[in-house]
Amino acid sequence: MSEKVKRRRHSEEFKRQVVKRMRECKNILGLGRELGLDVKMMYQWKWKQEGRPRRHPPELTTQAVKGTDLEALRRENGQLKRLLAEKALELDFFKGALQQVGARRQGAGESGETPSTCTSGRGRSPGKAD
């Protein structure tokens, strides 16, 4: 049975002190080990203090569709449709190429043997003649 990991709550002051030490430290991983903290969490605290934007933009709501944003959404929609069409063409190209490779492999192995990739005599048995 797995034990539940007890989450620790850290005060804002503690987080500020950790971020301050991160700025002064050359080995963040070592600092994390010393403090018993996950380095990813330490960086999240740092980014939050720096006021960095969130990694994922907020979801669009019906409010974004009102007014002048509607034209921007239409342009973006057109661009996304073009990109999707390009990806579909790429997919068709690679499917065709894969089918050609498969057909060549089938044609090369008509004898029922596995085609050899060895070009020298190294892979042959010592007493076997051509």
Residues 8-48 have pLDDT tens digits of 788 999 999 999 999 998 898 999 999 999 999 998 899 88
Q: Answer whether residue 56 shows pLDDT above 70.
A: no
Whether 45 and 18 have beta carbons less than 8 Å apart is answered as yes
| CA–CA separation, 45 and 14 (whole Å) | 10
Buried b (16+ CB within 10 A) or exposed e, 88-125: eeeeeeeeeeeeeeeeeeeeeeeeeeeeeeeeeeeeee
Residues 67-100 have pLDDT tens digits of 567 777 888 888 889 889 988 988 888 889 899 9
Q: Answer whether residue 107 shows pLDDT above 70.
A: yes
In the chain, the N- to C-terminal Cα span, in Å, equals 63
| CA–CA separation, 46 and 94 (whole Å) | 44
pTM: 0.39
| CA–CA separation, 99 and 87 (whole Å) | 18
